[in-house]
Structure 1
Amino acid sequence: MRLLFIVQGEGRGHLTQAVSLAQLLQKAGHDVIGAWVNVAKERPVPAFFVEQFTAPITALPGPALVYDPQTNALDLKTTIWGIVKQLPTFRQSVRQLKEAIQTHKPDIVVNFFELLGGLTYGLHRLSTPMVCVGHQCLAFHDTFTFPKNRWLDKLLFRALVRLNSWGATELFGLSFDQQNDVPERRLRVMPPLLRQELSDCCNQSRITDACPYILAYTTQPGLVSEVLAAHRQYPEIIVHYFNSSTQEAQEQVGNQLFFHRIDGTRYLRYMRHCVAVVTTAGFESVCEALYLGKPVLMMPQPNHYEQACNALDGQRVGAGLADNRFDLRQLLTYLPTHDQSVSHRFRSWYASGEWRYLIALERLTQPSKLFTDTDSTHV
């Protein structure tokens, strides 16, 4: 098979999924011919993706989320206004995507939850089958848990998922656990796509810290204040905090508080030996903790409805606790009750991903076999 990727460049999650799926496909002898990546204005394609993705990469101007620098809340008004102002640019990106698909003639287009991909297929009705990949696709699963009393947010979120998957032949809903497919909605429940370093880190030597510690990770600068407040409340607890504001490899901020610049490899090493993880409720971050058997305090960014959904879904499968703030007291109370068998079930589910993806993608080129009664990807 020849596959072309369209990737959302907001955050690391979708980019990491693209790298993981490309490695899986190339190992099986398939050809990933390139990735078209949505990047916000004045932001390059992240260096880790350029280094790890072996096919040609094309940057496309596209929509981006905007956060309030003081409160760290998602600023919906500014986000929407920014999209409206750049509509002419986005139309050009859609035309460029359409021409690329028609020129390269891939067998399948894989859209990692990028709006430009949905618009390209919805507006131009291309014949090449497209699959939309993302945890967000589970919004159409009957068992998915939404935050209570936020009906407008739910409506808008599902509308976004529809737009991003517009024209898709199938939706691959990445899930923390195995669930039934929903054929009538073209939804196939699939294991997460995680970076190779996750399994590699288990074979690395231990880090020098011998004392138990909490690992924290955020990408938005506004959450630094939450970590500092938690440290003042529990100054005796060692906290290693990876964040986007720190430029040094490691910086001691308090007696037991250490800041680290974001480094994927070092972060995984620290996760392997921590007692618990505190992070915003990004899907990949929670999956990595599940894989390594670490309880998680999932702290959605303010106004970020998708992360609020992720936190509830993670809590449902037993990954840890969902909370709106960095509450170490609640986390410490929870730790003795955490069920380690959750990690074993997750690893088994994740390990089935290789054959599930290969079979599901091969069937996209054979429409008569989509969601048949003998579908071996549904167990």
Structure 2
Amino acid sequence: MRVLFLVQGEGRGHLTQALSLAQILTIAGHEVTGALVGVTAERGVPAFFSETFTAAITPVFSPGLVYNTGTNELQPFKTTLHAIRHIPSLWRSLKQVQRHIKEHQPDVVVNFYEMLGGLTYALLHPGVPMVCIAHQYMAFHPNFQCPKGQWFYRQAFKLNTRLTCLGARELLALSFDKQADEPAQRLRIVPPLLRQEVTQLKPVTGNSLLAYVTQPGLTVDIQKAHRQRPDVPIDGFHAGVTVPDQVIDETLTYHAIDGKRFLAFMARCKAVITTAGFESVCEAAYLGKPALMIPQPNHYEQACNAIDGERAGVGKASARFDLTLLLDYLPQHDAQVSEQFRAWYGQGYFLFLAALNRATTPRPKSTGGFFGTRVRHLLRS
């Protein structure tokens, strides 16, 4: 089977999921022909992906999210305006994706939440089946819990998610735990995709808390929490640190961002404090480390992740860096959650291969036409 990836390049979650699936496909004897990665003028293909992914990588322009540079707050309105201004460039990208599929003739396209995939299939109709993979597709599951009272953000999130998967044969929703499939939504629930580097680690129980600092304001919160509880050791990986280790005092040390070192620290920490990105919380759950999940401001998707993660028992959701909340939670954390998570993760190899095999199996043509089918589907959702 020849498989082409289409990957959203925002953040690291979808890219690491692509690396993980590539490892599964290689073990199974299939060929990953390459990856089209959504980039912007300010954000190229990250080094950790380009240095690890073994097939050809093709950057493709895709309008990204807009954040406040001071607070790291997601700005939905400016994100929409940014996308509208780049409609001509977006159309050229759709044509580029279409040409690439036609020239390389994969048996199936796997789309990791890149909107270019759904729009290309809706408007240009490539003749190759597409399967979409992301945790965000859990939004179409009846058991998925979302923040209350945020109707506009909820609808915008679901619309954006729907646009990524137009024309897909199946949606594979990555989930913290096993849930029932939703055939009417083309939705199948599958385990998280984790890198082999994570699954090969041997976790031990440590005394230090591990914090991943992406928001500038979070550094201030760490300092405040540290002053209140100087007896609790904290290791913080901080984007503003330019040396490997910046020792503040005996129980607080900042470290420069380094993926391998971060995983090594995670394997021997007591608990993890992070934004509510799905990937990092899953890594912590696999290693048996409870997580304090702090969504970025206005980031509706991460707010959903935090609620869903708390439901699954992998950690505690919080609107801020609350050391007392985390420390009070730790004695209540069920260690069996990690064992159950690992067992669920172990089913992924067969579930992902089965999904791609289904996608490449010919099926009867729809009598309603592409747009008729999509309209009926959107109305049902």
| Same fold per superposition (TM over 0.5) | yes
**Which residue identity does 2:209 align to in structure 1?**
I
Question: Aligned residue for 2:116?
Answer: 116
Give unpaired runs (5+ residues) of structure 2: 365-381
Q: Which amino acid aligns with 1:315?
A: E
Which residue of the partner structure matches residue 2 of structure 1? 2
Q: How far apart in 2 are the matches of 1:257 and 1:67?
A: 28
Q: Deviations over 1:270-310 (max 9, x none)?
A: 11111111000000111011101111100000000000000
Q: Which of the residues 334, 341, 348 maps onto 1:339?
A: 334
CA RMSD of aligned residues (A): 1.5
2:316 aligns with 321
- Aligned partner letter, 2:145: T
Residue 374 of structure 2: aligned partner = none
In the TM superposition, what is the alpha-carbon distance from 1:78 to its structure 2 partner?
2.4
- Matches of 1:246 and 1:254, distance apart in 2: 15
Q: Give the equivalent residue in structure 2 for 1:144.
A: 144
Distance in 2, Cα, partners of 1:225 & 1:168: 44
Report what 1:372 is aligned to.
none
Number of residue-to-residue matches in the alignment: 364
Runs of 4+ residues over 6 Å off in structure 1 = none
Matched, 1:282 2:277: yes
How far apart, CA to CA, are the structure 1 residues paired with 2:311 and 2:53? 33
Work out whether residues 220 and 244 of structure 1, in 8 Å CA contact, stay in contact via their aligned partners in 2: no
Deviations 1:201-243 (A, max 9, x none): 228xx8xxx9611000133434322222222222221110112
2:6, 2:37 within 8 Å by CA — same for their partners in 1? yes
Corresponding residue for 1:262? 257
Q: Provide the identity percentage.
A: 52
Residue in structure 1 matched with residue 201 of structure 2 by the alignment:
201
Is 250-259 or 10-19 further displaced after alignment?
250-259
Distance 1:368 1:116 in 2: 24
Contact 2:206 2:269 in 1 (8 A): no
Task: Please say if residues 69 and 222 of structure 1, whose CA atoms lie closer than 8 Å, have aligned partners that are also in contact.
Answer: no
Alpha-carbon deviation of 1:23?
1.0
1:159 aligns with 2:154: no
Which residue of the partner structure matches residue 374 of structure 1? Answer: none
Q: Partner of 1:216 in structure 2?
A: 211
After superposition, the Cα gap between the structure-2 partners of 1:365 and 1:229, relative to the gap in structure 1 and judged at 3 Å, is same
SS in 1 for 2:82: helix
Correspondence for 2:190: 190
Contact kept in structure 1, 2:206 and 2:270, CA below 8 Å: no
Match for residue 11 of structure 2?
11
Aligned CA distance change for structure 1 residues 223 and 69 (closer, same or farther; 3 Å):
farther
Q: Does 1:100 align with 2:100?
A: yes
Q: Which residue of 2 aligns with 1:251?
A: 246
1:302-360 deviations in Å (ceiling 9; x for gaps): 00000000000000010111000000001111111100000000000001111111111
Determine if contact 2:18/2:112 at 8 Å carries over to the other structure: yes
5+ residue gaps, structure 1, are 370-379
- Residue type matched to 2:196 in 1? Q
